[in-house]
Amino acid sequence: MLETRFCDLELRNPTRLCAGIMGVNAGQLIRVAREGAGAVTMKSIGPREREGHKNPTVIEWEHGILNAVGLPTPGYKNCDEEFEELKELKKLGVPLIASIYGTRAEEFIEVAGYVAEKGPDAIELDISCPNTEWHDLQFAQDAEISGKIVGGVKGVCGKIPVIAKLSPAAASPAEVGKACEEAGADALCAANTMPGMLINVDARKPILAFRKGGISGPALKPINLKITYDLYEKVQIPIIGEGGITNGTDALEYVMAGATLCGIGSAVWKGGTGIFRTVCAEMEFWMKENGYSKLEQLRGIAHEK
């Protein structure tokens, strides 16, 4: 009932583990795959070793999570072993999405060239992280730069599908998504975290050491849901909807807005890996109750007037 085709990949269900959540080592990703995720995404891999920001980097608040982890990475040259271990995912039939970043287009292309040789099932471009020193260069705020990165990366990825991860902070994420599609993107992710901050009044200081961060979890859902909805009207390529999915109803909302896959991140962080099975069971339950047998019957249905 939940089987999903995404960029020629066959998934047992439409859920995917978002980038940067539990993907710190291969063992964690394999566990998430065993626990029911339809696909898993690695922590974003960068051009060179980077420690990330000082603690505190992640805090939970009543409407979600605020993080400024700061893209820690061993650098792509030190990821061979991880990719080797992740071959286990093939046996489980769970697609592996590699996530990469750079500080400029040339670095994206350099990292993508290496990662493509390792044979992941798709490569996602984190052009939208709000928590870096170069954050005012958030590529996904600019359609032209985003298209340039996508076009360059496509040139070194062969047949591996390339996903552009958009930012809710762009003036028009749908315009940026369209530019990425025109540059050759095979899919879009709607979307990354929204820039934000929280202050500890007793300390009279921002709570995160990096001061500002990215908002994820329930507070993000209506924002990224609208981006998914807008994109569905503008592009032909599949969309990964994510931001604040905590149950089957949230996931169905994204499907009805037009998503093919539903990313789950903060809910895994908060509640553990059982969330994938729970979300799928709740989706199936609702579908059976309402007389649907396939997700395609629901995809984009909220656009009907």
Ligand X SMILES: Cc1cc2nc3c(=O)[nH]c(=O)nc-3n(C[C@H](O)[C@H](O)[C@H](O)COP(=O)(O)O)c2cc1C
Q: Which is nearer to ligand X, 62 or 289 (CB)?
A: 62
Position among 138, 167, 228, 266 found at the interface with ligand X (CB under 6 A): 266
Q: Which is nearer to ligand X, 7 or 163 (CB)?
A: 163
CA nearest neighbour of 41 among 65, 66, 68, 6: 6
Alpha-carbon distance of 164 to 176, in angstroms, equals 10
Alpha-carbon distance of 218 to 114, in angstroms, equals 35
Residue 16 contacts ligand X per CB under 6 A: no
Residue 32 contacts ligand X per CB under 6 A: no
- Give the per-residue contact string, 127-146, with ligand X (x = CB under 6 A; - = no): --x-----------------
CA nearest neighbour of 188 among 156, 229, 216: 229
Closest approach, Cβ 16 to ligand X, in A, equals 10
**Contact present, 47 and 107 (Cβ < 8 Å):** yes
Neighbours of 133 (CB within 10 A): 10
- Give the per-residue contact string, 163-192, with ligand X (x = CB under 6 A; - = no): --x--------------------------x
Helix/strand/coil (H, E, C) string of 65-103? Answer: EEECCCCCECCHHHCHHHHHHCCHHHHHCCCEEEEECCC
In the structure encoding, which two tokens stand for residue 92, read together?
């489980």
- Give the per-residue contact string, 62-81, with ligand X (x = CB under 6 A; - = no): ---x-x-x-x----------
Q: Which is nearer to ligand X, 114 or 254 (CB)?
A: 254
Instruction: Specify the DSSP element, H or E, that contains 263.
Output: strand 261-264
Helix then strand count (H, E) for the chain reads: 10, 16
Q: Which is nearer to ligand X, 20 or 238 (CB)?
A: 20
Residues numbered 225-244 forming contacts with ligand X, rule: CB under 6 A: 242-244
Stretch that binds ligand X, among 103-111, 139-147, 259-267, 286-294 (CB under 6 A): 259-267
User: 157 catalytic, yes or no?
Assistant: no
Residue with tokens 């895994």: 268
Q: Which is nearer to ligand X, 19 or 259 (CB)?
A: 19
Closest approach, Cβ 248 to ligand X, in A, equals 14
**Contact present, 150 and 162 (Cβ < 8 Å):** yes
Position among 132, 193, 228, 260 found at the interface with ligand X (CB under 6 A): 193
Neighbours of 229 (CB within 10 A): 22
Terminal C-alpha separation, the chain: 26
The dihedrals phi and psi of 268, each to the nearest 5 degrees, come to -75, -45
- Give the per-residue contact string, 84-103, with ligand X (x = CB under 6 A; - = no): ---------------x----
Closest approach, Cβ 288 to ligand X, in A, equals 25
Closest approach, Cβ 74 to ligand X, in A, equals 13
Number of chain residues interacting with ligand X (CB under 6 A): 30
Residue with tokens 């005012």: 136
**Contact present, 163 and 189 (Cβ < 8 Å):** yes
Which of 18, 129, 262, 280 is an active site residue? 129
Closest approach, Cβ 192 to ligand X, in A, equals 5
| Residues labelled catalytic | 129
User: Which residues contact ligand X by CB under 6 A?
Assistant: 18-21, 43-44, 58, 65, 67, 69, 71, 99, 126, 129, 165, 192-193, 216-217, 220, 242-245, 263-267, 269
